[in-house]
Chains A and B, each alone.
Chain A
Amino acid sequence: GAGVSQTPSNKVTEKGKYVELRCDPISGHTALYWYRQSLGQGPEFLIYFQGTGAADDSGLPNDRFFAVRPEGSVSTLKIQRTERGDSAVYLCASSATGGISGNTIYFGEGSWLTVV
């Protein structure tokens, strides 16, 4: 596609529910990132995929958070037993190879999750 696409744009869920957030990267981009941005803060790194594998998942806050990228394109961030503290904008980004080594990282517009 023309850019990084994220769905849903906004999601309101009840505490304790399960949520999936989807990211469709730019076609052909092998690197994919998830970040979380809480109100009034900068984005915080969650996980980085190179192809189908998670190259760095050190930012996932706990085992309620999980992300997959089974075919090396679309990725899904999964949050189990949501808590009010999970409310944030979840940003996805992609780059042609590894963004820092040479290619620009392109961000989507994020999925705004509200847990009530």
Chain B
Amino acid sequence: AQTVTQSQPEMSVQEAETVTLSCTYDTSESDYYLFWYKQPPSRQMILVIRQEAYKQQNATENRFSVNFQKAAKSFSLKISDSQLGDAAMYFCAYSRGPGGSEKLVFGKGTKLTVNP
């Protein structure tokens, strides 16, 4: 079974600084998707960024970027120029590729605090 591990229960960063959240996963599949979701206190999960495993180029979305290392099964999220609104729980998630189950497998999350 696929598993997702987030080894940092909590992280903190100063406003305007950069922080990196770690994620590793285990799968025997060659084609799959990886995601980072943000969950503020409202509980709503919000997609931050996604990466297709077949793409070598790391995904970027404005201040958010990933470092995808397929051989190492590592998928870290870098948040640049951190803002107070970035404070939330961040979850790394995995899904099998096309033709597989649509379900997401989540890690346990990292709580990010942004200090003014």
Contact = CB atoms under 8 A, between A and B. Distances in A.
A110 B98 CA distance: 27
B29 to A, nearest CB: 12
Interface residues of A, number: 28
Contacts of B33: 100
Nearest to B45: A107
Contacts of A104: 47
A91 B46 CA distance: 12
Contacts of B30: none
B103 A91 contact: no
Given A42-B106, A45-B103, A109 B43 contact: yes
Contacts of A79: none
Contacts of B107: 42
B103 A110 contact: no
A41 interface: yes
Contacts of A89: 43
A51 interface: no
Interface string A53-97: 001101100000000000000000000000000000101010000
Interface of B: 4, 33, 42-47, 91, 93, 95-98, 100-109
